[in-house]
Amino acid sequence: MAKPARMRRRHFGLMLSFLLLVAVPLFGVAFYLYTFAQDQYASNTGFTVRTEETGSATDLLGGLANFAGGNATSDGDILYEFITSRELVQRLNERMDLVAHYSAPHDVDPIFALEPDASMEDLVDYWQRVVRVSYTQSNGLIDLEVLGFDPVTAHTLAQAIVEESQILINELNEQARADSMRYAEADLEASIARLRTAREELTQFRTRTQIVDPESDLQGRTGVLNNLQQQLAEALIDYDLLSENTANPNDPRLVQAQRRIEVIRDRIRQERLNFVTDDIGADGEDYPTLMAQFEGLTVDREFAQESYRAALTALDVARTNSARQSRYLAVYIRPSLPESAGFPRREAILALGFLFLTLGWTILALVYYSIRDRQ
């Protein structure tokens, strides 16, 4: 039968190593947390960037107002980067002297406090520890948790972040308005120049050809042809009537009617030929060429007029949007004034410390016994 288990030297060594590697460090961490670590207060706030919805009138213009309004999701991304940026840290440090506040307990709590001689880079790194930003990109919601060594400072700092964020949104509004007005005015100037050029080219065409409206001139020529066609029809009827009433094919009246028909037909043929062969323009252009030029110039003028109307409308929309705030900061959770310290989370730190120290001690013990068994 196996003998009862007894404590051996390796067991005492294992227990001693547990005390040295787990219990003693954990006791040191607990001693520091409950003796030297200073309480930190958390002020919470939440906000998002809202974009003003545009009406149906501006929607019919192809979303010109959205050009000035921007996109709320991209604005949220910009705001998130701004809150964690060096620029915001510099602004708030000038307003509240962050170094003085976060370095005040350094003599007692050097781990959770900032060094008194910290540089701006050190302050920016420390900022990531005391300001925790949670950003939901799908809906643009930003939740902010600001830590301070006293509740008033934490609350004031959270309010300052909200104010600086509002200033940034206002700057983005001003920039969008300026860009919208500048682009709209540039488009209007370009459309005016295009319309002026189209009208000048049409005027030059009329001056060169001495034809105010080729379409009216064409209608006049068409009227002549229609009149000749009508005369030809009447002459043919008269000839048929004479043919029925006389039996002599050499009757002078029949000869005269036949001659009249031939003359009218020659004139119709000549008028039709004149449409193609007559040199109407000063440079010898024929009528179809002049009509093609006139139609092209007319289309250019109509397009320039439509562009001018659209540019005027776009300028009015841009001017209307610039008169109101298209994007604004919506605070759905106002900065809170903490009543009790929530940080450092001593129990959570001790639990994590115990977990990792135990895991480390277990791994070292397994490595030791593995090497020992191989010898």
CATH architecture of 39-208+323-343: 2-Layer Sandwich (3.30)
Structure-token match 């003693």, residue found:
24
Angle between helices 86-96 and 120-130 (to 10 degrees): 90
Give Dmax over CA atoms of the chain in angstroms. 160
Residue ranges of the chain whose pLDDT lies below 70? 1-11, 52-73, 212-221, 247, 274-287, 321-326, 375
Q: Amino acid identity of 226? A: N
Q: Identify the pLDDT of residue 147.
A: 94
Q: Give residue 30's pLDDT.
A: 94
Delimit the domains of the chain by residue range.
7-37+344-375, 39-208+323-343, 209-319
Give the per-residue pLDDT at 51.
75
Cβ neighbour number for residue 321 with a 10 Å cutoff: 25
pLDDT at 90: 92
Residue 326: its pLDDT value, please? 66
Alpha helices in 142-209 (DSSP H): 151-209
Alpha-carbon span 288 to 272, nearest angstrom: 12
pLDDT of residue 343: 87
Strands 131-136 and 41-51: unpaired
User: What is the tens place of the pLDDT at every residue in 161-205?
Assistant: 999 999 888 888 887 777 788 888 888 888 899 889 988 888 887
Sequence-distant (≥ 6) Cβ neighbours of residue 256 within 8 angstroms: none
Q: Is the dihedral of CA 159, 164, 170, 173 positive or negative?
A: negative
Q: How would you classify the pairing of strands 327-333 and 41-51?
A: antiparallel
User: Contact, 87 vs 102, CB < 8 A?
Assistant: no
Q: Which tens digits make up the pLDDT trace of 33-53?
A: 999 999 999 999 999 888 765
> Token match 């309480």: residue?
39
Please give the DSSP secondary-structure letter assigned to residue 281. S
Q: Closest by alpha carbon to 149, among 334, 344, 336?
A: 344
Helices (H) and strands (E) in the chain, counts: 13, 4
Given this model, what pLDDT does residue 29 score?
Answer: 92
Return d(Cα 123, Cα 99) in angstroms, integer.
7
pLDDT, position 219? 66
pLDDT of residue 63: 45
Q: What is the C-alpha to C-alpha distance for residues 78 and 76, in angstroms, rounded to an integer?
A: 5
Q: According to the model, what pLDDT value does residue 60 have?
A: 40
Give the CA radius of gyration of the chain: 46
**pLDDT at position 65:** 41
Q: Reading across the β-sheet that carries 141-148, which strands appear in turn?
A: 131-136, 141-148, 41-51, 327-333
| Cα(293)–Cα(75) distance, integer angstroms | 51
Q: Which of 312, 252, 78, 281 is nearest to 172 (CA)?
A: 78
Closest CA to 332 of 50, 42, 41: 50
Phi, psi (deg, nearest 5) at residue 345 = -85, 90
Cα 288 to the center of its chain, rounded Å:
49
Q: Is 243 exposed, middle or buried (0-12, 13-18, 19+ CB in 10 A)?
A: middle
Three-state SS at 331: strand
Q: Alpha-carbon distance 114 to 122, whole Å? A: 8
